[in-house]
Homo-oligomer: A and B are copies of this chain.
Amino acid sequence: MARINDNYLKLKAGYLFPEIGRRVTAFSNANPDAKIIRMGIGDVTEPLPPAIIEAMHKAVDEMAKRETFRGYGPEQGYAFLRDAIAKNEYAARNCEVHADEIFVSDGSKCDTGNILDILAPGKENVIAVGDPVYPVYVDTNVMAGHTGQSNAKGEYEGIVYLPMTAENGFKASLPTRKVDVIYLCFPNNPTGAVIDRGALTEWVLYAKENDAIILYDAAYEAYISVDDIPHSIYEIPGAREVAIEFRSCSKNAGFTGTRCAWTVVPKALMGTNEKGEKVELHKLWMRRHTTKFNGVPYIIQRGAEAIYSDQGKQQVADLIAFYMQNAAIIRSTFTSLGMEVYGGIHAPYVWVKTPSAPGSSNRIDSWGMFDKMLRECHVVITPGSGFGASGEGYFRVSAFNSRANVEEAMQRIRTKFQ
């Protein structure tokens, strides 16, 4: 009988968001009149900007006429989009990233998983992730056979976890053992923390000294609100030789259901083969991308291009400002209740330390806080422990919502937690 990939059986069943869904459904069934406000999953709520809508209508019309119809496009993405990205996202920030180093794709979630295809199978590379962490980084490494089994804390053997807590300012500290592949996500999901130039430079130097690769997920860079925080790792000298960057249109232009992203694999980035020879990762990813992917829909690429029109830029900026006003309301609510509040300044996520249980000096744990918020406020948050052991004692509140929902949720929370 055909043999399956046994690594899948190492995956823990209770993926965070399905478990949240299960508890919310159970509560909702038991309390059908409760008006539940969801501030858990990081999904945008506001419509696509008009410039993008207009561009997509135009592209749909092009598909209706023989003269302008488009069949297979280049798997890496159309030049019109890659050029717009190279110019607006990289040249504008003095980053050396060429259009042919940009691979347009249908999502950063997909790419952060798929990138493992071009790295050695098995346990030859030591993988480091932040803790708490976006679960996909870990799960895809488990699937690829890069780990052993998980322990009672949910940590997988072989993965190096880099704690990010209030105690270290939510900086992922440099690993104490040599690692080969490092996932960094800034602005961070889930903590909302950012990394400054100095700290990111340390990571680039670490990677150079240790011949490691940084997988840099900057899906939330549009939320950075001051000048001295890097939007791209390629703002750091030398990063072209050590880093792959993942970027997305999901959280800036609202493409979570529209699907467009890109990955940068610089030509200067090398790995080694079994003989110890250097191999360009760009060539391997090009082969992977052209063999196992067929490009993003033409209509969607035209929508993504419109992000970079003058109108598109202004409309996307307005969207981000709207969500960041939500974040400010959330921050001030929890701050006013005396809780310790992080994130939410350069990121659409607010990361809050759980309060003490009533009449106790012990903090409520993450799932306890989740249940309490659901039961007492009918508000869904995300328990920090779902992102990793170091997330225990925290919870994440998403700023992606309508203003009315945010205000009502905060009002309920103020009433119950005062």
Contact = CB atoms under 8 A, between A and B. Distances in A.
Copies of this chain held together in the complex:
2
Given A211-B2, A294-B107, A46 B66 contact: yes
A297 B258 contact: yes
Interface string A37-70: 0000101111110100100110011011110011
A226 interface: no
Interface string A287-303: 11011111111111000
A14 to B, nearest CB: 12
A5 interface: yes
A71 B2 contact: no
Nearest to A73: B257
A72 B21 CA distance: 14
B109 A279 contact: no
A60 B257 CA distance: 11
Nearest to A46: B66
Interface in A280-322: 281, 284, 287-288, 290-300
Nearest to A3: B120
A268 interface: no
Given A63-B47, A71-B256, A180 B2 contact: yes
Nearest to A9: B273
A1 B273 CA distance: 9
Contacts of A70: 257
A117 B143 contact: yes
Nearest to A300: B297
Contacts of A270: 1
Contacts of A389: none
A145 interface: yes
A1 B271 CA distance: 6
Interface in A1-40: 1-9, 11, 15
Given A57-B57, A258-B299, A299-B300, 13 more contacts: A1-B272, A4-B271, A4-B279, A4-B281, A5-B121, A6-B274, A41-B72, A45-B71, A56-B63, A72-B257, A106-B293, A107-B294, A121-B122
24 contacts: A1-B212, A1-B272, A2-B120, A2-B180, A2-B213, A4-B271, A4-B272, A4-B281, A5-B121, A6-B274, A7-B121, A9-B279, A15-B290, A47-B63, A71-B257, A73-B257, A106-B106, A110-B294, A121-B122, A121-B145, A143-B288, A257-B297, A259-B297, A297-B300
Interface of A: 1-9, 11, 15, 41, 43-48, 50, 53, 56-57, 60-61, 63-66, 69-73, 106-107, 109-110, 113-114, 117-122, 124-125, 136, 139-140, 143, 145, 180-181, 211-213, 254, 256-259, 270-274, 278-279, 281, 284, 287-288, 290-300, 402
